[in-house]
């Protein structure tokens, strides 16, 4: 696949049907089909087939399950990559796993490192321990999940990535932190940064008000969707423009060196 200087992305914010993968796939299918055919990447929220459930036993899928096959089929038909997280079971463990499905059929994935202790996620899901920088159309993409946003060291741009993305189920009472931290991650990493959140009320009566957003490498807001369920929020990002800013200011060259323990 030839490298591309520009990347066109659809950020799809949606309400979710609690623990109902079939219905959620059907809903997202309609939204993705409506996206124009020149989109390079579609981003869906965290646990987009179930909502943020702590009861994975009957809803977890395998890496050759229905949702992955659905993503593979759609990515091929739309000729774009599709990403978002779902509940995966593997080796008798459960993971909150972000899947990045390429139109070629290649699958990259990232397991959420910072499980959300406030909801007991750490008691149910196995935490990941590896950052995965995905190469797509010549772009280096760093995918992270929800609570990871609160931990800037994990997101630190030591790999010279071009795009930082978060998928989330981030509730309304803490949405100010979502907005603030996403902007901070963009500025400190000099990287395009997007966050895709859900809307609606889940079975635990938690309300989500979206605020799906995209920032450029200086923290300027490129687009934002508040509490509405539109088909998608479309952005186009430009790697050459980002590199010009990086070369002009060179802030990343002064970053601290560190090791994870």
CA distances from residue 251 to 87, 240, 256 in whole angstroms, order as listed: 37, 17, 11
HSE-CB for 5 with a 13 A CA cutoff? 5
Mean pLDDT to the nearest integer, 217-232? 86
Span 83-132, pLDDT tens digits: 999 999 999 999 999 999 999 999 999 999 999 999 999 999 999 999 99
Distance of CA 21 to the CA centre of its chain: 18
Span 239-251, pLDDT tens digits: 999 999 999 999 9
The answer to whether residue 2 scores a pLDDT higher than 80 is no
Q: What are phi and psi of 24, to 5 degrees?
A: -65, -40
- Structure confidence at residue 1 (pLDDT): 65
Distance of CA 84 to the CA centre of its chain: 5
> How far apart (Å, rounded) are the C-alpha atoms in residues 35 and 42?
9
The answer to whether residue 227 scores a pLDDT higher than 80 is no
Based on the residue annotation, tell me whether 146 is a catalytic residue of this protein.
yes
Residue of 83, 49, 78 lying closest to 66 (CA atoms): 49
3-state secondary structure 50-89: CCCCCCCCCCCECCCCHHHHHHHHHHHHHCCEEEEEEEEE
From 19, 61, 80, 112, the catalytic residue: 112
The answer to whether residue 167 scores a pLDDT higher than 80 is yes
Based on the residue annotation, tell me whether 46 is a catalytic residue of this protein.
yes
Q: Are strands 207-209 and 163-167 parallel, antiparallel or unpaired?
A: unpaired
Residue spans of the domains in the chain: they are 6-253
DSSP string spanning the chain? Answer: ----SEEEEEE------TT-HHHHHHHHHHHHHHS-TT-SEEE--TTTTT-S-S--TTT-B-TTSHHHHHHHHHHHHHTSEEEEEEEEEETTEEEEEEEEE-TTS-EEEEE-SS--GGGTHHHHSPPP-----EEETTEEEEEEEGGGGG-HHHH--SS--SEEEEE----GGGHHHHHHHHHHHHHHHTSEEEEE--EEE-TT--EEE--EEEE-TTS-EEEEE-S---S-EEEEEEHHHHHHHHHHH-GGGGPPP----
Mean pLDDT to the nearest integer, 158-183? 98
- Structure confidence at residue 226 (pLDDT): 83
Based on the residue annotation, tell me whether 112 is a catalytic residue of this protein.
yes
From 19, 46, 61, 121, the catalytic residue: 46
Mean pLDDT of the chain: 96
Mean pLDDT to the nearest integer, 51-60? 98
According to DSSP, the residues that pair with 215 across neighbouring strands are 193, 221
Share of the chain above pLDDT 70, in %: 98
- Structure confidence at residue 231 (pLDDT): 62
| CATH code assigned to 6-253 | 3.60.110.10
Confidence of residue 259 (pLDDT cuts 50, 70, 90): confident
pTM for this one?
A: 0.97
What's the token pair of residue 69? 């096959």
From 113, 146, 183, 239, the catalytic residue: 146
Residue 35 has a CB neighbour count (10 Å cut-off) of 17
């Amino acid at each position: 696949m030839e490298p591309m200087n520009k990347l066109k992305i659809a950020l799809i914010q949606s309400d979710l049907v609690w623990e109902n993968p079939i219905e959620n796939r059907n809903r997202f299918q309609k939204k993705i089909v409506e996206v124009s055919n020149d989109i390079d990447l579609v981003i869906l929220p965290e646990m987009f087939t179930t909502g943020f459930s702590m009861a994975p036993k009957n809803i977890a899928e395998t890496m050759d399950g229905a949702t992955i096959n659905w993503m593979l089929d759609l990515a091929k038909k739309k000729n774009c990559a599709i990403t978002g997280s779902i509940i995966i079971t593997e080796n008798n463990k459960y993971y909150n796993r972000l899947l990045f499905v390429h139109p070629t059929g290649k699958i990259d994935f990232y397991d959420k490192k910072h499980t959300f202790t406030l909801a007991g996620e750490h008691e149910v899901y196995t935490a990941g321990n590896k950052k995965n920088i995905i190469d797509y159309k010549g772009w280096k993409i760093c995918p992270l999940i929800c609570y990871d946003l609160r931990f800037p060291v994990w997101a630190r741009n030591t790999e010279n990535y071009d795009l930082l993305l978060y998928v989330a189920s981030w509730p309304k009472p803490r949405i100010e932190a979502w907005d603030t931290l996403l902007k901070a991650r963009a500025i400190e990493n000099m990287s395009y940064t997007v966050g895709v959140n859900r809307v609606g009320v889940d079975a635990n009566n938690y309300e989500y008000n979206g605020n799906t957003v995209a920032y450029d490498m200086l923290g300027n807001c490129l687009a934002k969707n508040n509490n509405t369920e539109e088909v998608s929020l479309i952005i186009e990002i430009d790697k050459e423009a980002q590199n010009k800013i990086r070369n002009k200011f060179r802030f990343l060259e002064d970053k601290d060196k560190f090791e994870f323990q």
